[in-house]
Amino acid sequence: MSSQNPVVIGVDSSTQSTKAAFTDAATGRLLAVGRAPHRVTGDGGARESDPEEWWNALREAVTAGLKESGVDASAVTGIAVAGQQHGLVVLDGTGRPLRPALLWNDTRSAPQAAALTTSLGGPEAWTARTGSVPVAAMTASKWQWLRENDPAVADAAAAVRLPHDFLTERLSGTAATDPGDASGTNWYSTATGAYDPELLELLGLDASLLPEVATTGAARVGSLTAAAAAELGLPAGIAVAAGTGDNMSAAVGLGLGGAGLLDHPVLSLGTSGTVFAATRTRPDTPALSGFAAADGTYLPLACTLNCTLAVDKVAALLRLDREDAVPGGEAVLLPYLDGERTPDLPTASGLLTGLRHDTTPQQLLGAAYEGAAVTVLRALDEVLRACGLDPADPAVASRPLRLVGGGAQGRTWVETVRRLSGRQLIVPASGELVALGAAALAAGAATGEDPVAIATAWQSGAGPELEPVERDVETWERVNSVLDRATPSLLS
């Protein structure tokens, strides 16, 4: 296959793998998706990856996509990386990692997060500055953990990067990030649109170690270097966008933002579960992460640690296929297998209650789906409030919920969310929204156009609309009751 139109590459560097989406820049048609895995190691709350594996996976994914698409490399005009948020990458003076990166789902920094929250005066003080309260997932908490537990590496750091920053710098030779991913560090202020000097001082972090913040994720921060081009098999000099975090990129892929849809909720079902919306209202509630979006708007978001991966683990323990599930009945299973982020329960483990003689394995699996879905859906109203909306307003309550991520391709996930939310669902046909969002950022860097407008024209967020069903209030209330009663014990 060949393309007469310019081609852009959107890279999705996630927790488990890297994808490179070769996209027709004029139409948004997905020409090929190259894939390559990378490893996550650690136990006892530790979750780490070698950043060099991310680069190797990016190279393999681009090589595979180029071959599969049949595109002439000379047609490629731009590339952008969307990466897993919050990870801490520390580099030496040559740009090589000093140690494995601490990932977003590494919970060892929970004590540091609590101490940081107190040191600034509490949750409200943090949200007023950064939009978000420190939790174990945030980069500032991980940096503080590193200072306390591996001070030699912290002292030797010549550069501190997020995962997508690390890859963007390898592509372009430029140390750059964007407001969206930077807003997940807890040292970038969404109130001022810059790094916060007082917070950097609190963290003992020199601003010179950090990348420059571009105006948007679509800003062109450089060109593909000759060295990177040789490794990737692409033309040197093509546009390299600032890129962004994975959630921000998914929003772009859905056409959410200033040039598209505002204040429309999205539920993403992946390794983590997230609910978010793009809005012009700066969020400042401690209940949520008040992120910036890649296009200059904001992205209030709630994230859970335990979603598809946790449910798949329960299925494996029960020796069932992931789709071999029925509603849980009286059984309630909170699948907090990695602690939990929302609610903030970093040391929690899974909890099962309501077991009866006639409870079936299929019901237990269904209960795991329900526990994971309720956990993330509880935050939906908070996201809408952060957008300045009243969740009880019929016009707001009738807005469809866009369901994305790997779980959105699963029948049981879709039906569980549909049953527990009672909302109309839109399930975008593309399962590669993070990569397509990154492709739109790459197209924006190459042409100067608004990436949200580009993605809207591509209709990358289009898909089947599922009418609402009567809400399963009984299950909703049962799971919520267990969660509310269990929270004090799960904190210990």
pLDDT in tens, the chain (492 residues): 444 799 999 999 999 999 999 999 999 999 999 999 999 999 989 999 999 999 999 999 999 999 999 999 999 999 999 999 999 999 999 999 999 999 999 999 999 999 999 999 999 999 999 999 999 999 999 999 999 999 999 999 999 999 999 999 999 999 999 999 999 999 999 999 999 999 999 999 999 999 999 999 999 999 999 999 999 999 999 999 999 999 999 999 999 999 999 999 999 998 889 999 999 999 989 989 999 999 999 999 999 989 999 999 999 999 999 999 999 999 999 999 988 888 888 888 999 999 999 999 999 999 999 999 999 999 999 999 999 999 999 999 999 999 998 899 999 999 999 999 999 999 999 989 999 999 999 999 999 999 999 999 999 999 999 999 999 999 999 999 999 998 777 665
Catalytic residue among 165, 196, 246, 381: 246
The reply to whether 246 belongs to the active site is yes
Q: What are the residue ranges of helices labelled H in 17-134?
A: 51-69, 110-119, 123-130
Q: Residue 192 phi/psi, 5° resolution?
A: -110, -15
Quick one: which of 269, 334, 276, 342 has its CA closest to 305? 342
State how far the Cα of 385 lies from the Cα of 319, in Å rounded to an integer: 41
Spatial CB neighbours of 480, under 8 Å, sequence gap ≥ 6: 374, 378
> Contact, 132 vs 189, CB < 8 A?
no
Token pair, residue 352, equals 């099962």
* Residue 167, CB-side half-sphere exposure with 13 Å CA sphere: 32
The first and second tokens of residue 205, run together, are: 């972090």
Q: Using an 8 Å Cβ cutoff, are 11 and 245 in contact?
A: no
Assigned token pair, 282: 């700066």
Measured between alpha carbons, how far is 258 from 261 in angstroms, rounded to an integer? Answer: 7
Residues with Cβ within 8 Å of residue 268, at least 6 apart in sequence: 247, 250, 274, 275, 276, 404, 405, 408
Q: Is 453 exposed, middle or buried (0-12, 13-18, 19+ CB in 10 A)?
A: middle
pLDDT of 415 = 98
**Residue 433: exposure state from Cβ atoms within 10 A (0-12, 13-18, ≥19):** buried
- Rounded distance, CA 174 to CA 166, Å? 10
Over residues 400-434, the pLDDT tens digits come to: 999 998 899 999 999 999 999 999 999 999 989 99
Q: Which residue has the tokens 């903030």?
A: 344
Q: Can you tell me the distance from the alpha carbon of 162 to that of 124, in angstroms, rounded to the nearest whole number?
A: 25
Cis peptide before 343 (omega within 30 of 0): yes
The three-state secondary structure class of 373 is helix
The amino acid that residue 457 corresponds to is: A
Q: What is the pLDDT of residue 341?
A: 83
Q: 420, 374 in Cβ contact below 8 A?
A: yes
Please state the length of the chain: 492
Q: How far is CA 172 from CA 84, 165, 205, 237, 457, in A?
A: 19, 10, 25, 9, 28
- Enter the pTM of the model: 0.93
Structure tokens at 116: 């940081």
Residue tagged 């699948």 (tokens): 335
Angle subtended at Cα 436 by Cα 435 and Cα 438, rounded to the nearest 5 degrees: 65
Of all helices (H) and strands (E), which one includes residue 137?
Answer: none
Rounded Cα–Cα distance for residues 98 and 327 (Å): 47
Look at the block and give the residue holding tokens 């908490």.
141
198 burial via Cβ count (<10 Å: 0-12, 13-18, 19+): exposed
- Domains belonging to the chain, first-starting first, are 7-246 (3.30.420.40), 260-427+462-492 (3.30.420.40)
Check residue 492 and give its pLDDT. Answer: 55
Tokens of 270: 């992946």
Residue 230 CA to residue 226 CA, distance in Å, equals 6
Question: In angstroms, rounded to a whole number, what is the distance separating the alpha carbons of residues 315 and 321?
Answer: 6
Which of 140, 161, 138 lies closest to 13 in space, CA to CA? Answer: 161
> Which structure tokens are listed for 243?
């890129």
Distance between first and last Cα of the chain: 57
3 state SS of 215: coil
